[in-house]
Amino acid sequence: MHIHILGICGTFMGGLAVLARAAGHRVTGCDAGVYPPMSTQLEAQGITLIEGWDPSQLAQVDARGEPFAPDLFVIGNVVSRGNPLMEAILDAGLPYVSGPQWLADHVLADRTVLAVAGTHGKTTTTSMLAWILERAGLFPGFLIGGVATGFGISARLTDSKWFVIEADEYDTAFFDKRSKFVHYRPRVAILNNLEYDHADIFPDLAAIETQFHHLVRTVPSRGLIVVDGRSDALARVLTRGSWSPVERFGDGVDWDARVVGDASGSHFEVLHEGGVVGTVHWSLQGAHNRANALAAIVAAGHAGVTVEEACDALSRFEGVKRRMEVRGTIDGVTVYDDFAHHPTAIATTIGGLRARLVAEGGQSRIVAVIEPRSNTMKLGTMKAALADSLVEADRVFGYGARQGRDALGWDLRQALAPLNEGISGEDRSKQGSKAAVFDDLEQLIAAIVVVAQPGDHVVIMSNGGFAGIHEKLLTALQLRAARKASA
C-alpha cells in the first residue's frame, strides 16, 4: 500500500511513517517545514518528502516517472480545514484516515499495548518502559515522542507482541476531536500525572479529565492501570469508574522511592507496601524521574519482568535526548537542552538540577533560558505561573519572538518582572537584573555570553528547535574562550 502522510515531520507522524515503512508500505509525506533532523531521518528510511501543501503534488510523478497516486492519505492533527491539499483530497473523494486510527488498525490491533499518558514525563517514562522490556529480552516495538539514547530511534516495529507507546491527550485530527490515546486500547495504561495544558484544545482541567476517563474505559479487566497516587485530578478520573486493577505510585502509597546517600537521588530504593524490593543506581536527577521509574517498573511487571530485572535495566538507562541533555561544555560553562514547556516542568527541571548541585556540595549557578513556544504558552494561559517556576534559577533569559508563527500574544517581560522585584539598586548595578527578555536571538546569545561564568549551568528550555540556539551559544562561548586565551 502507498500511504501519503500529511504533517509527516511532527514527532508522532514521523514515528508513524517509520513504522509504516518497516511494515512494508510505500511511504511518502509532506509538511509545511521539511528540515533536519526529522527530514534526514525519514529520507534515510527511503521516505520521499514534499515541502508544503500544494494540491499539485497529487498529480506529480515519482523519481521513477510513475504516477504519484497514494492508496490512502494519513492526516496529522496539524492539518485543518482550509489546508489546500486537504481540500483537494476532500473534493476528489480520496480515502483518508487519522494517524492514530491508522496506527490502531495496522500496528496495534494484534499487539499487547502498554501506553504512557500524563501531562509531564510521557516521553521519559515510555523510554524507560521500552528499555526495561528490551533488557528483559522482550524486544518490544515502540513509538516515543523523543529519542532514547539506548535505542537511538523514536519508533521501531518488531515481531514481539509487546508495543510501548507514548499516549498523548492532544486531539486526533480536525475530523476527530477525541484524544489520540483513545485509539490505542492498551492492556496497561500508565497515568503519570494530570494538570491543565493544551489550552488551544481544552477549556479547562475537567475536559482533560473526561478524556482520561475515556482512556480508562478502554483498559480491560485483566489489564492494569498504573496511576500517580498523589494526583487529585487522577483520583477524580478513577472515581468516575474503573474496571481494571489499579497500582498506585508516589509518597506513602503502593509503590514508593527512597533516596539513599546524598540528596541527588542517584541511588534510590524501590519500596512496595513499605518493603524494599529493589535498588536503582543511575545518573538521572529529580523526584519526577524517580516517579517515572516507579511507573515503568510497575507496568513492566505486567509483562512478567521482575522488579530486580527492571531496576537493573534502569541502572543502565542513559536518558532521553532533549531531557536535560548536555550539549557541550565550553570554558567551564555547561549547556543543556531540555524540553520543558509548562511551568511545572520548568520548575521540576530547575529543582532537580539544584538538588544535584547541592548534593555535590557546589555553589554553581543555574542560568535558565526559556522560549514559551507551546500552544498553551503562546496563548498566555500559564504566564502567571512562569515567574514562580523560575525562582530557583540564578539568572533568567527569555526569548519572546514578536513576529512569525512563534510570536507571543502577551508581554513576557511583564510576566518575568516579579523575578526582579526586591533587587536593590546597588545589587542591580553589580549583577544586573535577574531576568531579562530579548526578541532578537543574536542579542540574547550575546547577553548570555556576557553573564556566563565558569561553573555555570545554562539550561535552555523549549519544546521547539529554538532556532539552533544551543550550537550558536556553544560557538559564541568558544570564541570568547579563544579571545581570553590570546589576550
CATH code of the domain containing 300 = 3.40.1190.10
Is the same domain home to 482 and 416? yes
Task: Tell me which residue range forms the domain holding 86.
Answer: 2-100
Is the same domain home to 80 and 137? no
Is the same domain home to 357 and 296? no
Q: Which of 248-252, 262-266, 473-477 has the lowest mean pLDDT?
A: 262-266
Higher per-residue confidence, 110 vs 375: 110
Size of the chain, expressed as the number of residues it contains:
487
Is the same domain home to 131 and 72? no
The count of other CB atoms within 10 Å of the CB of residue 474 is 18
pLDDT band, very low/low/confident/very high, at 174 (cuts 50, 70, 90): very high
Instruction: Tell me what pLDDT residue 430 has.
Output: 44
Instruction: Tell me what pLDDT residue 393 has.
Output: 92
Q: What is d(CA 286, CA 265) in angstroms, rounded to the nearest whole number?
A: 7
Reported as a single tens digit per residue, the pLDDT across 111-140 is: 999 999 998 888 889 999 999 999 999 999
Q: What is d(CA 454, CA 112) in angstroms, rounded to the nearest whole number?
A: 50
Can you tell me whether residue 198 is helix, strand or coil?
A: coil
Instruction: Tell me what pLDDT residue 62 has.
Output: 63
- What is the mean predicted confidence (pLDDT) over 440-447? 92
What is the total count of domains within the chain? Answer: 3
Is the same domain home to 88 and 220? no
Reported as a single tens digit per residue, the pLDDT across 352-384 is: 788 778 877 777 899 999 988 776 677 777 788
Is the same domain home to 89 and 146? no
Beta bridge partners of 334: 329, 457
Domain boundary among the residues 100, 125, 148 is at 100
Is the same domain home to 96 and 114? no
This prediction has a pTM of: 0.77
Position 190 in a domain: yes
Can you tell me whether residue 467 is helix, strand or coil?
A: helix
Say whether pLDDT at 264 is over 70: no
Q: What is d(CA 58, CA 52) in angstroms, rounded to the nearest whole number?
A: 12
Is the same domain home to 59 and 132? no
Position 400 in a domain: yes
* Distances in whole angstroms, Cα of residue 104 to Cα of each of 27, 110, 268, 421: 17, 9, 37, 52
Contact assessment for residue 263 and residue 235, using Cβ atoms and an 8 Å cutoff: no
> In this structure, what CATH number is given to the domain that contains residue 91?
3.40.50.720
Instruction: Tell me what pLDDT residue 340 has.
Output: 72
Domain boundary among the residues 100, 130, 160 is at 100
Domain boundary among the residues 265, 281, 314 is at 314
The conformation of residue 194, written as its DSSP 8-state character, comes to -
pLDDT band, very low/low/confident/very high, at 406 (cuts 50, 70, 90): low
Position 119 in a domain: yes
Is the same domain home to 223 and 91? no
Is the same domain home to 214 and 125? yes
Q: Phi and psi at residue 484, in whole multiples of 5°?
A: -65, -40
User: Which helix (H) or strand (E) is 461 found in, with range?
Assistant: strand 457-461
What is the overall mean pLDDT for the chain? 88
Cell of 79: 492539518
Alpha helices in 287-342 (DSSP H): 287-301, 307-314
Position 307 in a domain: yes
